[in-house]
Structure 1
Amino acid sequence: MSKCYCGRSQSYDTCCGRIHTDITLVTTAEDLMRSRYSAFVLAKGEYLMKSHHSTTRPPLKEKKSIVKWANSVKWVKLEVLKTSKGAESDEEGTVEFKAFYFENGALEVIHENSQFVKENGYWVYMGEVDH
């Protein structure tokens, strides 16, 4: 059995795959962040939009360019560095992570401290925390 794209030891189907099918299964901010990483690996534009807070979600017309970019890079790995709040009983939380990928032959990294909140009863990505 291969590991999920998010780096956990479960298979994709029992980890992020089930969340991609039903976003309400997300129990923590970290789970949502990991599922978004897997969605970038798989270029799942619908899920990336749905898992984004309604007030910070990119315009629908940008979905195509997000999917195109996600498909154009080779995703390497995800490292979760730190979490703050974001438990099942919380309403907000942050997750600091590094997502590594190859673009044009060079190793790149997205290093972000992301804010997550509950909207409509499930976790969504709000945006990067201001430093």
Structure 2
Amino acid sequence: MSRKNRACPCGTGEPYAECCGRLHRGEATAATAEQLMRSRFSAFAVADEEYLLRTWHPDTRPPSIEFDPGQRWTSLEILGRTGGGLLHREGTVEFVARYRIGGQDGEMRENSRFLRDGEQWLYLTALGTR
């Protein structure tokens, strides 16, 4: 099955092309901080460096992103959020991102901070990871 028809890695159950794929292709922007978080998880899953850098706040954006070819992002679970809605200028999203690497399962927990710049949400920083 092509990536276009597969379920989106972000976990909504929608086809990738109609979910995060639209954001990755620049056809739409994330309406909320959570939607941006989900689309960034999907960008890591499909190794879309351009999208990740485009949606990273310039104050904290790295020059490039190194992907581990042996790592496969497997699921995303949103644990909570503050702000980040249609009428907000900032917000946080706490999540667990699960992956598989070298035959072992792992997870990354993070509480991410997002800021809205005009009509676009941007990832600013992690408030905490484990």
Match of 1:34 among 34, 38, 50: 38
2:89 aligns to what? Answer: 91
1:22 maps onto 2:39 in alignment: no
1:58 maps onto 2:56 in alignment: no
1:74 aligns to what? Answer: 72
User: Structure 2 counterpart of 1:84, which letter?
Assistant: T
2:110 aligns to what? Answer: 112
Which deviations, in whole Å up to 9, do the C-alpha atoms of 1:70-121 show, x marking residues without a partner?
x320221100110111001110000000000011222111100000001243
Gap runs ≥5 in structure 1: none
Query: For the structure 1 residues 34 and 91, does the alpha-carbon distance in structure 2 shift closer, same or farther, using more than 3 Å as the test?
Result: same
Following TM superposition, by how much is the alpha carbon of 1:53 offset from its aligned partner in structure 2, in angstroms? 0.4
Query: For the structure 1 residues 130 and 72, does the alpha-carbon distance in structure 2 shift closer, same or farther, using more than 3 Å as the test?
Result: closer
Superposition RMSD in Å:
1.7
Query: In the alignment, is the contact (CA less than 8 A) between 2:20 and 2:39 conserved in 1?
Result: yes
Percent same amino acid among aligned pairs?
A: 39
Cα distance in 1, alignment partners of residues 128 and 100 from structure 2: 26
Q: Taking structure 1 as the reference length, what is the TM-score of the superposition?
A: 0.87
Cα distance in 2, alignment partners of residues 51 and 75 from structure 1: 19
1:7 maps onto 2:11 in alignment: yes
Query: In the alignment, is the contact (CA less than 8 A) between 1:23 and 1:51 conserved in 2?
Result: no
Cα distance in 1, alignment partners of residues 110 and 22 from structure 2: 25
Misfit runs of 4+, over 3 Å: none
The alignment covers a number of residue pairs equal to 125
Cα distance in 2, alignment partners of residues 107 and 119 from structure 1: 36
Following TM superposition, by how much is the alpha carbon of 1:14 offset from its aligned partner in structure 2, in angstroms? 1.2
